[in-house]
Structure 1
Amino acid sequence: PPPRDTSRPPRDAGSSATSSGETGALSVISNPWSWVSIDGRDTGRKTPLVNYSVSLGIHRVCLKTEDDREYCTAVRIEEGRPARVVHNF
């Protein structure tokens, strides 16, 4: 019989965010201001966040207000197309 193809796709095939080092821009605006986390990591920044550098792909962006209200959404970061999240609590 012919040999079977035992090759596997790369480990990150199908992952939502790239590891190629390429980045895009993300701006986040909220009212009132809120702390911004991306993919579960605190950015240490609050809104307004303008042209923040993020790797290409899909990311989970969460906003948390001073009184613990929270909003999360998925955002696709593409090269040359700045992404924007706007939320009113």
Structure 2
Amino acid sequence: CEPPSAALLWKWVSRHRLYNLGTNRCLGINATKIVQPDVGVFECDVSLPTIMLYGAMNNKLTVVDSKVVVVRRATSVQQWRIYGAAGEGP
């Protein structure tokens, strides 16, 4: 097994942001989309609604069962898998 590349490594940083070591960007939610907010990576030092982890529609990034997930109004959950975690694979 090869060690994970920097693009697969994440770190919690200030202001409740999840920082990607490979891209030098933060994970966030595009809170300007009301129906289906997008999850993506954004410049970490920009203070726009697109990088807020807690959006206007009560969306938030959280950890559930060792997975980073997007919770939208506590009814819809999209899962992000942690590299090397149980159940992670093709």
Q: TM-score, normalised by structure 1?
A: 0.29
Higher helix share: 2
Q: Higher relative CO (CA 8 A, sep ≥ 6), structure 1 or 2?
A: 1
Q: TM-score, normalised by structure 2?
A: 0.28
Higher strand share: 1
Q: Computing the radius of gyration over CA atoms, which structure comes out larger, 1 or 2?
A: 1
